[in-house]
Structure 1
Amino acid sequence: MSSVAGPDAYWTSYGYGKTGNRTTTTSHSLIVGGTDTVPTYTYPAAGDRDRMPCRW
């Protein structure tokens, strides 16, 4: 069994959709029985220029 240790220990996993966009980032608890943090990402539909997160 491996462990995560050190002054700045972290354990993060990433999930990706079919198009390669990140869909989840799981920040795992380093405490036994702790709760993981799992925010999700959403993206506008392809070609939907009005809802793009960044505009140039």
Structure 2
Amino acid sequence: MVDWIRPARHASLFYYAVGDGQLENGLSLSSVAVLLAVALALFAANVLAFDRLDVH
């Protein structure tokens, strides 16, 4: 593919989900930690944004 963008692959969530050879090597603890951290951060941002709405 494009070699100059290869160092930026760690910035993509797809790398941690399917790009690190999880089918061959199994899921690594660091990949799970990154995906869970991003999911929790997005959930927290969603809760904070929803609290600002006047829908209660």
The TM-score by the shorter chain falls in which range? Answer: under 0.3
Give 1 or 2: higher strand fraction.
1
**TM-score, normalization by structure 1:** 0.27
In terms of fraction of residues, the more helix-rich structure is 2
Question: What is the TM-score with the length of structure 2 in the denominator?
Answer: 0.27
